[in-house]
Amino acid sequence: VLIGEVARRSGVSARMLRHYDALGLLGQVGRTGSGYREYSGEDIERILHIESLRALGLSLREVGRALDDPGFRPSELIAELIGQTRERIAAETRLLTQLRRVGAAEPAGWEDVLQVVALLHALGSENAGRRQRAALSSALSSAEEFAVPVDALVEAALEETDPNVAGALRWALARSGGGLQQLARGLGSPVAEVRERAAQAIAEIPGEAATELLRAALTNADIVVRRCAALALGPRGSAEAIPTLIDMVATEGRDVDAADALGVLAGDPVLADRIATGLVNRLTGGAVDPAARRQLTQALAGIPGDRTSQALTELSRDADRAVAVTAAYLLKLREPPDR
Amino acid sequence: VLIGEVARRSGVSARMLRHYDALGLLGQVGRTGSGYREYSGEDIERILHIESLRALGLSLREVGRALDDPGFRPSELIAELIGQTRERIAAETRLLTQLRRVGAAEPAGWEDVLQVVALLHALGSENAGRRQRAALSSALSSAEEFAVPVDALVEAALEETDPNVAGALRWALARSGGGLQQLARGLGSPVAEVRERAAQAIAEIPGEAATELLRAALTNADIVVRRCAALALGPRGSAEAIPTLIDMVATEGRDVDAADALGVLAGDPVLADRIATGLVNRLTGGAVDPAARRQLTQALAGIPGDRTSQALTELSRDADRAVAVTAAYLLKLREPPDR
DNA sequence: CCAACTTTTACGCCGCGTCACCGTCT
DNA sequence: AAGACGGTGACGCGGCGTAAAAGTTG
């Protein structure tokens, strides 16, 4: 069979058939008296084999090695090819999300494209300084002509380990005002750090939508998220955060911040009563550790109202000297200034 | 700034910087007195721009065209790049599934790999004849050393439009005995044809697992699926199919097949009674169209038992002549042979 | 004799590493 | 004067299209 016939039937161009021959992939191909290549049935079969292996992604060189080595184990090669293909898909997918972000920024001209690309690239950089600069510039560039790619900011904020850069990213997000939906998804991440970062980022975003999200986060499965949400909800005047905040006052660590948040909420007299009652219930409930009782007592400092005054009077006779002294001191502070 | 410095700070190799220069991407780069390239701040900025565009997947030639044309609209280019990238991802993904299937076939040597690849390739061919041969060969090759990639068969069977090839594929699937799980997923496809093909394929697979799946399919949202399942469940002795089959008898199209299936089920005397009752209820229920009544009467032919005989006696006096004649004829057939 | 084949040889593409060989700074 | 820079030119890789120039079929 001559080369043209083989080319037509196998779908491989005559050029490539000659190339295979030149590379020695076919062993020796027969020739007619006048020098034309004469392919045998075996040759054709071998050509089909070559095409099969090439379809799996092997290079011609690899095909040659594979077909020549009769004792080759295919399974590991297949596994390796799978790995390589996955890697390529991952790279292409990263490229695709970059492209989508650039497109979403609706650049008006090349200048904008270049700026967005540089920004995205810097946000994904290994270098913390570059990331920092990128975060700051996206925080400040909201007045530019192109839209800052919010989802890239969210992704960066959720993955950022450097605290300074993370802060800058949260600031940028807060200024952009968007990304709440993706941050909300971050609250459900399997990774604890991501959940916490999402909660912090939402906490720094102003507006009713973020507040609503924080209220929902009060029922999050992750206690860290719940506490972060509660701290942020205090200044926003959300009474739903009170139980979590009282829990936090009784816990080591964020008790001062929680007490402050309760103090802000207690600006409303109705809430002040509820908060005071909650704190007192905690103090008189059984099995509370002494350190927690002291923190709860101190938290009463920020809560106005008669309910607190009564509680402090009783606490000034508390069995725990530290509690009694603190309560007495706070009581004196609350005496009316007109002697 | 000399080339080495630029290379170190931009991450672009000196080789490539010279290449950019040779391609004219940078306009004219300055030179020192001794002929060294001297990059200005603008040059460096331009280099960063080039890198940005290359990161988006543009070739050097495209970068040159883009940067030279000041009035270029970037948005359409971005859209095109997105399309191309998606296409590449799709191609790589197809390759990945092929590779996984080859790996799943656990080939012992190159021979097996080649056969599996050829088979997969033929299954995905445009040419119906090739697909047919591939289907037949995978139906017959279950005795070979390698495992036929069942999921490829399922995918092919769910997408096949040629009825002959589809039949061969279902046969191959039935012989392989696997793929039920993926076929079950096909029952939930948004495409009606795919759902029907999945149902047909399951119907041809023997065994309790397939029967169970068919029973579940009786509650499928797609009526075609339900009917296909019911037809297949008849011969498997599943009484659950009876209501659907009776519905089918009263409907144009598959009524004869449904009647046959009911006849098989009626081999069990208890079921025979239930079926007869069901058919009679349909006949005496209000607002049944005449054609349906005739089909229901004919279906009684295959149902033994006294209940049927009584019904036929009554029907032989039916107002519809066709029904009455049919019933009378069937009654005569049922007279005991001993005169 | 012509048309349709075949043959070999060779260039180009694209992005880039790497050499060779030579000049120029400090 | 050594060694770190810079310059140009060229080759190679991989997979193939394409084209030229010539010979072989029917």
The pLDDT score that the predictor gives to residue B144 is: 61
The pLDDT score that the predictor gives to residue A27 is: 87
The pLDDT score that the predictor gives to residue A335 is: 77
Name the percent of chain A lying above pLDDT 70.
97
| Mean pLDDT along residues A141-145 | 65
pLDDT in tens, A43-68: 999 999 999 999 999 999 999 988 88
Among the ranges given (A168-172, A221-225, B214-218, B299-303), the one the predictor scored with the smallest mean pLDDT: B299-303
Higher per-residue pLDDT: A227 or A143: A227
| Mean pLDDT along residues A289-302 | 88
Q: How many CB atoms lie within 10 A of CB B112?
A: 18
Contact status of A117 with chain B (Cβ, < 8 Å): yes
A contact residues 45-64, partner B, Cβ 8 Å cutoff: 48-49, 52-53, 55-57
The pLDDT score that the predictor gives to residue B94 is: 94
pLDDT band at B337 (very low <50, low <70, confident <90, very high): low
Higher per-residue pLDDT: A193 or B281: A193
| Mean pLDDT along residues A23-28 | 90
Closest nt by CA–C1' to A54: D15
Residues with CB under 7 A from strand D: A 13, 15-16, 19, 32-36, 54, 59-61; B 2-5, 7, 14-15, 18, 35-37
The CA-based angle B291-B295-B299, given to 5 degrees, is 170
CA–CA distance from B312 to each of A254, B26, B274, B280 (Å)? 85, 96, 15, 9
pLDDT band at A256 (very low <50, low <70, confident <90, very high): confident
Q: Report the distance from CA of residue B40 to the C1' of nucleotide D1 in Å, as an integer.
A: 33
* Structure tokens belonging to residue B109: 């040597």
Among the ranges given (A123-127, A271-275, B137-141), the one the predictor scored with the smallest mean pLDDT: B137-141
- Residues in A closer than 8 angstroms to B96, CB to CB, are 82, 85-86, 89
DSSP A281-321: HHHHSSS--HHHHHHHHHHGGG--SHHHHHHHHHHTT-SSH
The pLDDT score that the predictor gives to residue A55 is: 93
* Structure tokens belonging to residue A62: 């690899």
Instruction: Give A134→chain B minimum CA distance, Å.
Output: 15
pLDDT band at A287 (very low <50, low <70, confident <90, very high): low
Contact status of B93 with chain A (Cβ, < 8 Å): yes
| Mean pLDDT along residues A162-181 | 92
For tokens 């009581």, name the residue.
Answer: A331
Q: Give the residue on A whose Cα is nearest the Cα of B71.
A: A109
The pLDDT score that the predictor gives to residue A228 is: 94
Higher per-residue pLDDT: A339 or A182: A182
Of the candidates A56, A57, A43, A59, which has an alpha carbon nearest to the alpha carbon of residue A10?
Answer: A43
- Residue type for position A97: T
pLDDT in tens, B229-264: 999 998 898 889 999 998 898 888 888 889 898 988
Average pLDDT of chain B is 89
pLDDT in tens, B321-331: 888 888 889 88
| Mean pLDDT along residues B257-282 | 88
Average pLDDT of chain A is 90
pLDDT band at B38 (very low <50, low <70, confident <90, very high): very high
A337: pLDDT strictly greater than 80: no
| Mean pLDDT along residues B307-313 | 87
| Mean pLDDT along residues B115-130 | 90
pLDDT in tens, A303-327: 988 888 888 888 888 888 888 898 8
Instruction: Give B15→chain A minimum CA distance, Å.
Output: 23
Higher per-residue pLDDT: A210 or A146: A210
B55: pLDDT strictly greater than 60: yes
| Mean pLDDT along residues B19-38 | 92
Q: Report the distance from CA of residue A4 to the C1' of nucleotide C4 in Å, as an integer.
A: 11
pLDDT band at A339 (very low <50, low <70, confident <90, very high): low
* Structure tokens belonging to residue B60: 């050097």
* Structure tokens belonging to residue A121: 């690239």
CA–CA distance from A324 to each of A273, A283, A291 (Å)? 21, 12, 13
Contact status of A70 with chain B (Cβ, < 8 Å): yes
The pLDDT score that the predictor gives to residue B160 is: 95
The pLDDT score that the predictor gives to residue B304 is: 86
pLDDT band at A105 (very low <50, low <70, confident <90, very high): confident
Q: Are B84 and B57 in contact (CB under 8 A)?
A: yes
| Mean pLDDT along residues B104-117 | 86
| Mean pLDDT along residues A283-295 | 81
**Packing angle, helices B223-233 and B242-249, rounded to 10:** 110
pLDDT band at B287 (very low <50, low <70, confident <90, very high): low
